[in-house]
Amino acid sequence: MAELVSSRLILVTAAILCSLSLRSECRSKSRFINMQCESYNESYAAFEKCKLNLLGRGRVGADMYLKLFQTPIDNCWINWSMYRRYNGFRPFLYNISTDLCQLLGNPNAISFQGLVMNAIKTGSNLNHSCPYNHDIIMDNMEFSDDFLKTLPLPQGIYKIQLRFATYKIWRVQVTVFIERKE
């Protein structure tokens, strides 16, 4: 009888340890830690909402509402910059400017722009090509490791800065800070 109880105890302990190890592997290694939104011209566009929401244990979602006052937008450029924190934020890997309307019409999923756009499309209404006749809404977009499959990043804190221009004038900037753990 004592053998049966001890073998059951060993099985239960093994099952608990396995579930704990699987749960820690399922958690994302990347998460949002801060988000900042800035409008350079409040008469053109203004942020009504720009914040991070706690969705659950270790899960953070980005929430943003950009009110556009001059529509339609059919000429839009975006500058993507990535920084890594060492002793302050230093440029890291990417600083690219591209035509957003062209990118939305024909995204390249392998490029850095394609990775960021695929991440943005999952939780926003920025999912069709130009022109844009409506406000830009991002609703609890959660950052996951799936977005970084083709871009493995070492452990650290990163800043992704997105600056948007229409008709060759910078209008808004969204800066997202991401923590990557291994």
**CA proximity to 63, closest of 45, 74, 49, 79:** 49
Instruction: Give me the domains of the chain, ranges plus CATH numbers.
Output: 29-180 (2.70.220.10)
Distance CA 142, CA 54 (A): 10
The residue assigned the tokens 């499959």 is 149
pLDDT (average), residues 133-159 = 79
pLDDT in tens, 94-128: 888 888 888 887 766 567 777 777 777 778 888 77
Which position has the higher pLDDT, 10 or 75?
Answer: 75
What pLDDT does residue 17 have? 45
Per DSSP, what are the bridge partners of residue 53? 61
Supply 102's token pair.
Answer: 């062209």
pLDDT of 11 higher than 50: no
Q: Please state the length of the chain.
A: 182
What is residue 18's predicted lDDT score, i.e. its pLDDT? 43
Q: What is the pTM of this model?
A: 0.76
Q: How far is CA 108 from CA 5, 42, 114, 116, 145, in A?
A: 58, 32, 5, 11, 19
Query: In the prediction, which pLDDT does 20 show?
Result: 40
